[in-house]
Amino acid sequence: MKANLEGKVAIITGASSGIGAQSAKQLAAEGAAVVLTGRREERLAQVASAIRAANGRAAVLAGDMASEAFCGRLVQFAMDTFGQVDILVCSAGMALRTPSLEMSREEWEQVMNVNLTAPLLLSQACIRQFQKAGRGGKIVYISSTAGKNINLGASPSYGASKAGLLYLTRHFAREFAADHIYVNAICPGPVDSEITHTWTPEHRAGVLANLPVGRMGTPEDIANAVVYLASSLSDYVTGESLLINGGRFME
């Protein structure tokens, strides 16, 4: 069975690069109209142009998802542009590597705002619209293996924010199941991306040595799961967190 998203409209955060950009491209390839958001407007425009060049439909609105006002404006922009909202993919994220005892409150709040507060605010805005339309909806959070297991390579703010996102997944999934709103998360392991390109060769070699499949993940690996969770193929799946990490961590 094919993941047919014809007639659906998706909002994707962090869509300027990596998992977010690839998810937007693959959702559009399956027929969804996509609204791309993030902070880097020029990069978002480039992703949108690539989608349109492949005969997809895309629109861009850059801004700060940790702003409640912007989240409301983003959902209204999607409504004004494409007439509805059916899917939310929260892919924007950040990590800092400040040691635990040197991490400032400002650094803690910076990571929490991007990784947890922004998905909360945007989910609230989308869920209200899902309920108003009465057609249900799909929410996909990009969490991390660090939300389930210790990651000493990043500040504790990263793992705490991603673990919080997993709780939000279960809470919203249970609370809004009767509205046919499905909420799931993906927990990637190491993915070849802008962040991992900053690693030293020694660190990269150490990570690869602990990956049973012998390679880093790709944005396509994660985007494939996004398409599944955003489509009718996953209509009996909610409140789940899908590990995609090459066997590095298993439950």
Query: Are 138 and 238 spatial neighbours (Cβ–Cβ below 8 Å)?
Result: no
Nearest in space to 158 (alpha carbons), one of 211, 206, 103: 103
Strand partners, 90: 13, 141
Nearest-5° angle of CA 16, CA 22, CA 25?
95
Q: Is 158 a catalytic residue?
A: yes
242/144 Cα distance (integer angstroms): 10
Rounded CA Rg of the chain: 17
Return the structure tokens found at 91. Answer: 């892919």
User: Across the chain, where does the E strand assignment appear?
Assistant: 9-13, 33-37, 57-60, 87-90, 137-142, 181-188, 241-244
Catalytic residue among 158, 167, 182, 228: 158
Q: Which residues are CB-neighbours of 216 under 8 A, at least 6 positions away?
A: 190, 191, 192, 196, 207, 208, 246
Catalytic residue set: 158
